Structures are given as C-alpha cells and as structure tokens.
Amino acid sequence: MTGSPMPKPSSVDLAAAYFPGSHSENEAWVRAEFQAVLDDWFGWRKGLFADDPRVSTRTDRRSGAVLHERELMSQRLAELCDALTAETPTHTPRYVGHMKAELSLPALFGWLAAMLHNPNITSREAGKVGTVIEGEAIAMLAGMLGYDPDQAEGHFTSGGTVANFEAVWRARYRLDHWLSLALYISEATGETLDVFAAAHMGWDRFRALWEAHQLSDEVLRRYSAAAGNPADVHRRISTASGRDYLGPVVLVPGNKHYSWHKAANIFGFGEESFWSVRLDAEGRLDLDDFERLVLRAQGDGRPVLMAVSVAATTETGEIDPVDRLHDLLEVWERERGWRIWRHVDAAYGGFLCSLIGGPDEAELGPVAARALKAVGRADSITIDPHKLGYVPYACGTFLTRDRSRYAVSAFDAPYLDRPELGDGKWSSTLEGSRSAAGAAATWLTGKTLGFGPDGMGALLAETIRARRQFQAAVGAALPFVRFLEPSDTNIVCFAVADDGDPLSRSNPLTEALFAAFHESAAFSVSKTTLGADYATQRARHVAAYGGVEDAAGLVLIRCVFMNPYWTAPDIRARLIPEFIAFVRAAVIGDMPTPRLDHRSVA
C-alpha cells in the first residue's frame, strides 16, 4: 500500500480507539469484533472431525425437555446480568476510587479469544499455543521494564500477591543453596561458618566450591533448610557459626503492600523476619535506614533474603529510589561480595516504564524517571497487567532478569539447563493450572497499542497530566484541601484541614467528606490512613499548614486517575468543576453547621 504515513495518534485518539468509550461509543465495532471471534470459534469447531456423529438433532433440540432447560438458562442468565448492574461502575471517569478502571479493547478481545479455547498454560501439552503467547507477552513486558527480552524469564500469575510470593520462593531457593554448601564445608572441615558472607556468596563462588568438594545434589540436600528439616539445619548452622541462628530477614519498605505480611506467614519465616525500612519525608524508602538494617542483620548473623523496593506504592503512588538502592547494592556486590536479591514490586507502576525514553518522560519528574529506569537492574519484578495494563482480572506477572534467577523448587543446580521447562512451567510456578486469557489480553495490547512511549506511554502520561490538572484546580479553588506531597504518578491524596488544625479536628472532617462521597453517586473515591511508617512525611504534611499531630494516623481521601477517559478535555472540563462543587458543598456548603471557618474559603 502506498500513501502518506499515518499521523501519530494523540493520547485522546488512543483513548478513543482503544477503549469501549465512556458511553459505549465503540459499541457497533466492538459487537462486530466479538461476533468475528465467535464466528471463528464456531467455524473451527464445525470443521473438526466433520463426519463424527452429532450429540443432538434439530428435533431433539425442540423437545420440551431441552427447551425447558434453555429457558431456565436464559432466565437465570438475565437475572445474573441484572444483578451485576449493581456492581460499582468502575469504567466511568467518575470512579477514581481504587486501582481499577476501564478495560481496554485489545485486552477484552484477546481475553475472549483465548478464553473460548481455554488453554491451560501449566504445560505445553495443555496449552500448545497459549504457552507461546505467554512467552511472547513476557518478552514484551520484559523489554518495557528494561530487561533484555531474550534473557528474561517469567510467567503470568493470578496477580501481584502471587508474583511477590514467586520472588520470595526464588530468593529462598538461591540463598538456601549457598548456605547449604557453606554448612557442608563447615561441618566437613570444622571451619567456623560466617552465615552472612556464605548466604550471599554468588553462583561463581558456589560453583567453584561445589567442584572443589565434588558435591552432588543428594549430599547437599542434607544441609538444606528447604529440602531437609529446617529446625535441624538451623540448629546445625548455630553450632557451625558459634551463635544462635535466627533465620533470614526480608527488607521491605514501610509503604509495602499487604501481600508481604502474607508472605511472612506462608513461607514460615515469621512476621518478625520482615523488617520494615523507614520512609523519608517523601514517603519513599529511606536509604540510610536500609543500610542501617542490613548492617544490623550482618551483626546479628542473619542473611538478607531479599531487598524489596516499590514502584509505585498502593496507598499514594510514590516510587521508591530504585536507582539509588541498586547503586548501593551493586557497590556492596563488588566491594564486599554480597549478592542480595533485589525485587521491585512494580505491581501498579511497572507500566509507567513505557514513558521512559519518549517525549512524555518529563511527566514523571526526574526522581521517578531515574527510579523507573533502574527497574531492569533488579533480580526480579512484579507487574500487574490487571492494574495499569487495563487487562481483566486475574492477571499479574512475575519476571526475572534471566533463566538462572528463575530457577526454583527442584534441588538441582540452576546453571544446568532444566529439561522440565521444555514441557512448560508447571514445576516452576506456585500456581498449578493457569489460564492463557490474561497472557493473550496482554499480548494483544502489546501488539497493538504497544508498551512504548507512543502507545501505553502516551496514554499513561496523559493520566498523570489529568491528575496534575485536577490537583491544581482543586487546590486553587479550595484552600482547605491539603494535598499530600509529592505525587509521583496518577494517584493523589488529600485531607481537609483549616490553617492550624490539629489532626483530631481535620481527620473527622476528612472522614465526613469521605462519607459524603460514599452516600452520593457523583464520584467514587477511596480512603487511606497513613500510620507510623509514614511518620516523617506525615509530620511534613501537617507542618505545611501549621497543623498539630495529635492523632496516631493521618486520614486521607485517595483519588486514582488511571481512567483513560480523563484524557478527554471535555470530560476534565466537566468533571473537575463538579468535583470542586461537591467538596465545597460537603465541607462548608449546605451543612447545618459549617465545619470550617468561611475565612479560609476563597
């Protein structure tokens, strides 16, 4: 085909083309594509084994019994559809409550097409095509995140929670190998075991020692806390090191998602072993505190199983200094030989890496941009297509930088090729049977919209601009709205407070505003309370309006501007003033007794 090249689509074009439309503007086209998918599916089925007998004849299907059953299904289905309309309408831009918004069209089409075939990507046998699609989707995500797509490995999970567990599982596998080998040597030679040094020795040293001692898997198993009896192995580590061995610690910033508490429980490390790294005045991982905790772990003879950073946090959308954390850990790797597993929990913010290197990178601000550029230096990453990827639930992803980091579970040397991967990933995933639908939805999104600056990046940049425009307009109109600073992404939080208000007054005001939102259908927002982990940021926030911290937590209203329709100027022009009017009315307007002094209202 010849002709002039297509003009580059604007973010408004992308929102118009890639989503159903806030009022189903793309209905006719979406119906046609759904129909095409069904045509294809029925056609495929009809063409297979065409001479085989049919399960029913036309006459059978007109019998009273069959018609009755069909009628029943029709009725119940209609009831189900009807019941579902009571769900919160999260596709509209008025929904800024949680990390959920409209589904994209490639995600819907890809999901439907794969779901009809129902491949199980636990093995190649059960998902011949699905496993290939999964591999290609993983490679596309890997490229966006800064991994080498040819080296990276990974798989789809039911979500970020399980993806984070996958990381813990692998970090433990690695640490357990290194410590087992060192315990073997110590018991064989009588040398004192340096637990911290041994547990971070690296595969090169492991291989050299393995060969020098002519070890086998069978022998090493007897020194493994994962393959053998953990109580027995810990007791022997205590003896070999000459001090009580209390097990590894996991360093997770105070802004962590609840899934890390669950991991502490499930893996049996105990909640005590999940050490919370303090947050700085920006609500991001405090590097000094991180360093202090690693040195404390070293002093206590406890290995660091993994160092977690978050991009972006569930509560406020803040992005940890992933770059500076990796700088520090890489220096330690070179100078001290400590190989500490680095995991980035990018369940929410991973897709923001699509802005990197494009014209919209500046929307992120230099600090967040540097952090996101460093995501690909991690050993492993969690990213949720079912959040900023606009893909249906349940769709998370776990990735590692390369195959050796992906190794887990089977007690074999990870530098050997693992033949069982040839049959699929069943032995390397926490979950057993897995659907290909999420992988196909992600795949089609990557092949159409794309995970680069011109596609997903342009769209997400516009959601950050919408958040900024919203914040500027609300801040200008309502001085008693106190935004939490900074805001790295498309999430913003605010409290209601008059100048000099103590938290004991402003928290109830914010709660009352939240209740007003809850009672009204106008907008859906969410609420969060920043507790002790956020002490520094909270103090700075309250000090900014001369407030007083006389309560344990800071109550905030949280707005997530991930909905693609916020890119449309008409929608912003209509909804932002409406939001302002709503807040004004709820806080000072038609309340029986004004809760704020009118002097504070412009």
Ligand X SMILES: *Cc1c(COP(=O)(O)O)cnc(C)c1O
Binders of ligand X: how many residues, by CB under 6 A?
13
Name which of 319 and 413 has its Cβ closer to ligand X.
319
Q: Omega before 486 cis (within 30°)?
A: yes
For helices 287-299 and 322-336, angle between their N-to-C axes, nearest 10 degrees: 30
- Give the Cα separation of 225 and 528 in Å (integer): 39
CB of 402 to ligand X, least distance (A): 23
Q: Does 487 bind ligand X (CB under 6 A)?
A: no
Name which of 160 and 452 has its Cβ closer to ligand X.
160
The tokens for 487 are: 């805001």
Count of other CB atoms within 10 angstroms of residue 172: 20
Binding mask 388-417 for ligand X (x = CB under 6 A): --------x---------------------
Is residue 343 classed exposed, middle or buried when 0-12, 13-18 and 19+ CB atoms within 10 A define those classes?
buried
The tokens for 578 are: 């409406």
Segment interacting with ligand X, rule: CB under 6 A, options 102-110, 154-162, 318-326, 530-538: 154-162
- Give the Cα separation of 406 and 427 in Å (integer): 11
CB of 76 to ligand X, least distance (A): 30
Across-strand partners of 153?
400
- 142, amino acid identity: A
Among 237, 294, 310, 437, binds ligand X (CB under 6 A): 310
In 278-388, at which residue ranges do the beta strands (DSSP E only) sit?
A: 304-310, 342-345, 380-383
Among 97, 154, 160, 547, binds ligand X (CB under 6 A): 160
CB of 253 to ligand X, least distance (A): 10
DSSP state string for 534-565:
GHHHHHHHHHTTT-B--SS-EEEEEEE---GG
Binding mask 257-296 for ligand X (x = CB under 6 A): x-x-------------------------------------
Name which of 348 and 514 has its Cβ closer to ligand X.
348
CB of 488 to ligand X, least distance (A): 13
Q: In terms of DSSP H, where are the helices of 267-341? A: 287-299, 322-336
Name which of 224 and 259 has its Cβ closer to ligand X.
259
- 371, amino acid identity: A
Given the DSSP bridges, would you call strands 396-400 and 481-483 parallel, antiparallel or unpaired?
unpaired
Supply φ then ψ for residue 566, to 5 degrees.
Answer: -65, -10
Supply angle C-alpha 379, 380, 384, rounded to 5. 160
Name which of 159 and 376 has its Cβ closer to ligand X.
159
Kindly provide the b/e burial profile for residues 569-583, where b requires at least 16 CB atoms within 10 angstroms of the residue's own CB.
eebbeebbeebbebb
Segment interacting with ligand X, rule: CB under 6 A, options 87-95, 153-161, 404-412, 534-542: 153-161
Name which of 385 and 424 has its Cβ closer to ligand X.
385
Q: Does 384 bind ligand X (CB under 6 A)?
A: yes
Q: Does 385 bind ligand X (CB under 6 A)?
A: no
Cβ within 8 Å of residue 521, ≥6 positions away = none
Q: Does 345 bind ligand X (CB under 6 A)?
A: yes
Radius of gyration from C-alpha coordinates of the chain: 27
Count of other CB atoms within 10 angstroms of residue 25: 12
Name which of 138 and 587 has its Cβ closer to ligand X.
138
Name which of 186 and 397 has its Cβ closer to ligand X.
397
Name which of 156 and 210 has its Cβ closer to ligand X.
156
CB of 395 to ligand X, least distance (A): 8
Among 11, 161, 490, 524, binds ligand X (CB under 6 A): 161
Segment interacting with ligand X, rule: CB under 6 A, options 160-168, 368-376, 493-501, 552-560: 160-168
CB of 145 to ligand X, least distance (A): 15
Among 277, 325, 347, 575, binds ligand X (CB under 6 A): 347
- Give the Cα separation of 241 and 197 in Å (integer): 11
SS3 (DSSP) at 249: strand
Binding mask 501-540 for ligand X (x = CB under 6 A): ----------------------------------------
The tokens for 464 are: 């950050």
CB of 583 to ligand X, least distance (A): 26
Q: Does 360 bind ligand X (CB under 6 A)?
A: no
Binding mask 211-250 for ligand X (x = CB under 6 A): ----------------------------------------
DSSP state string for 559-594:
EE---GGGGSHHHHHHHHHHHHHHHHHHHTSS-SS-
CB of 48 to ligand X, least distance (A): 37
Among 22, 224, 309, 314, binds ligand X (CB under 6 A): 314
SS3 (DSSP) at 220: helix
CA dihedral 314, 316, 322, 323 (to 10 degrees): 150
The tokens for 175 are: 């640490």
Segment interacting with ligand X, rule: CB under 6 A, options 289-297, 340-348, 429-437, 523-531: 340-348
Q: Does 100 bind ligand X (CB under 6 A)?
A: no
The residues of the shown chain that bind ligand X, judged by CB under 6 A, are: 159-161, 164, 257, 259, 310, 314, 345, 347-348, 384, 396
